[in-house]
Amino acid sequence: MKIAIILGTRPEIIKMSPIIKECQHRKLDFFILHTNQHYSTNLDSIFFKELCLPHPQYNLQIGSGTHAEETGKMLIGIEKILKKENPNIILVEGDTNTVLAGALSAAKLRIKVGHVEAGLRSYFREMPEEINRILTDHLSDYLFTPTTQTKEILLREGISQERIFLTGNTIVDAVFQNLKIAEEKSQILKKIKLKKNNYLLLTVHRQENVDIRNRLNQIMSGIGKIYRKYNLPIIYPIHPRSSKMIKQFKIIIPDGVKIINSVGYLDFLNLEASSRLVLTDSGGVQEETCVLQVPCVTLRDNTERPETIEVGSNILAGVNPQKILQSTEFMLNKKKHWENPFGSGKSSLTILNIITHI
């Protein structure tokens, strides 16, 4: 049994890390194929280092481009390696261009595809990730769903029950494995002079937010309102796509917002766990805040993680400035305790148990 783990971006490295570690622990025959969709140190190598992951055996060095450029180059590169290595199964995680390219290359070679985090739907096709998710799920032989809701979505789409496995989300494994280490090792609060529970954390990077001038402006205007009301510093570890678009659109950053380079996982977990509230358009951050019992305001009109809203950890604010302020007020004033719907932190073990019994 040979397993190929295909990954390419920050969230995939983080969410695959518990699976990679478990493969090492069980001495399984596996290799990592990195597309290098993400390549900047703070989106890539910092995570391999901090999470003590082995070097990928293959690195395609694809880098950035249009969707077709990224996906097309990946298909060509991945196919060559899969033909040479001939694994029994490939694993992909999430909804990026790397995930679609990995699943499609393998499916055409009749290599089994396992999709970690299957069944998520925003029902919003302006989001490139929605297209990647749907296609990847329908190409996959093993669909590892994080929740019962995501399992039901797949059943409704006609995917047969035998291919669907309810496993929880490996983000819980990653949080549980790293939170203590983050609290011990990360110096980020000291470094940027923050007091626990006395600041807000912001991440905005989605194409459908930051590549549209008006939406990005509205988000910043909402953030400005929050600072004027609460006078709490708002820390924004910025994704390179967002810094590029802020410069291009000449967006004015409101008072109170402190922009820092995007940070490694230990610093980010520490920043999240110690913040009073998080504003985000990230998928993984909606999940992590839910696990960490930190209130979350999502700067989007929809989410493929509705479980977070149902348990009460998250609210959809969209990008209207007044709505962003009201949603923040609501989340700051409500009770801070909810169930974590994403599993017990053993998803990676469950997924590997299933694969190794194929």
Binding residues for ligand UDP, rule: CB under 6 A, are 10-11, 14, 203, 205, 237, 262-265, 268, 282-285, 288
For residue 285, the partner it binds in ligand UDP, ligand UD1, none, with Cβ less than 5 to 8 A by kind, is ligand UDP
Nearest of 16, 171, 313, 294 to residue 303 by alpha carbon: 313
16 vs 189, which CB is nearer to ligand UD1?
16
Strand order in the sheet with 89-93: 58-59, 29-34, 2-7, 89-93, 112-116, 142-145, 164-166
Annotated active-site residue 38? The verdict is no
For residue 14, the partner it binds in ligand UDP, ligand UD1, none, with Cβ less than 5 to 8 A by kind, is ligand UDP
Q: Which residues have CB under 8 Å from 296's CB, separation 6+?
A: 277, 278, 279, 280, 285, 286, 289, 290, 308, 313, 314, 315, 331
> Identity (one letter) of the amino acid at 293?
Q
Stretch that binds ligand UD1, among 9-17, 83-91, 271-279, 296-304 (CB under 6 A): 9-17
38 vs 121, which CB is nearer to ligand UD1?
38
Strand order in the sheet with 296-298: 257-261, 234-238, 200-203, 277-280, 296-298, 314-316
205, 239, 337, 357: which is the annotated catalytic residue? 205
Report the site for ligand UD1 in 64-83 (rule: CB under 6 A).
64
To the nearest whole angstrom, how small is the minimum distance from the Cβ of residue 91 to ligand UD1?
17
Tell me: does residue 298 bind ligand UD1 (CB under 6 A). no
Residue found under tokens 């929880």: 168
Question: x/- string (CB under 6 A) for ligand UD1, residues 16-35?
Answer: --------------------
To the nearest whole angstrom, how small is the minimum distance from the Cβ of residue 14 to ligand UD1?
10
Task: Give the side-chain half-sphere CA count within 13 A for 92.
Answer: 31
Contacts with ligand UD1 by CB under 6 A: the residue count is 21
How far is residue 7's CA from residue 36's CA, in Å, rounded to a whole number?
A: 8
How far is residue 255's CA from residue 146's CA, in Å, rounded to a whole number?
A: 39
Residues that bind ligand UD1 (CB under 6 A): 9-11, 37-40, 43-44, 64, 95-97, 128-129, 205, 207, 239-241, 244
| Enzyme catalytic residues | 205
